[in-house]
Amino acid sequence: MKRISQRTLRRLFWVAGVLCLFWVLGGWKVPIVWQIETLRLPQDCKTVYHTKIRVSDVYWLHTKGEKVIQCEMGYEAVKAYVEEHNSETALEYIQIYPYEGMSDLAIYDSQYDEAFWQQPDQETYITISYFKKW
């Protein structure tokens, strides 16, 4: 059996260290962003606020991701469309609700969004949320 050289071992440990560092610094966000961004949405939807993700221990340890979109169809039609055109796996930990009201767990909170409250079409703003408790 052939032995692995010291140089090869150093390279393997170096690559493993870089991958671990990437994961710790932000790589853990990639699957969540991927899950939110790959949802099949209606054609007329546009992104208002891009996907943001955070880990929090408010009440319990959880991972939260949010994206706010605007769609002329309105909340009910968008929710029905997303549930119909995406698999159960794609919708795991995903919640869809109107972008309004206040929440102590929200990343994008309409309560502090002055531009939102000045819009005449507030019912077309929708939040796509990823929420997983640990």
pTM (whole model) above 0.85: no
In a domain, 128, yes or no: yes
In a domain, 11, yes or no: no
Q: Which domain holds residue 110?
A: 28-133
**Confidence label for 24 from pLDDT (cuts 50, 70 and 90):** confident
In a domain, 4, yes or no: no
The number of domains in the chain is 1
DSSP per residue, 108-128: S-GGG-HHHHT-TTGGGEEEE
In a domain, 15, yes or no: no
Enter the tokens of residue 101: 């009201």
**pLDDT (tens digit per residue) in 29-88:** 888 999 999 999 999 999 999 998 888 877 778 888 999 999 999 999 999 999 999 999
In a domain, 10, yes or no: no
In a domain, 88, yes or no: yes
In a domain, 80, yes or no: yes
In a domain, 106, yes or no: yes
Strand, coil or helix: 127? strand
Integer Cα distance of 67 and 22 in angstroms: 23
Can you say how many angstroms the Cα of residue 113 is from the centroid of all Cα atoms in its chain? Answer: 20
Enter the tokens of residue 67: 């994206």
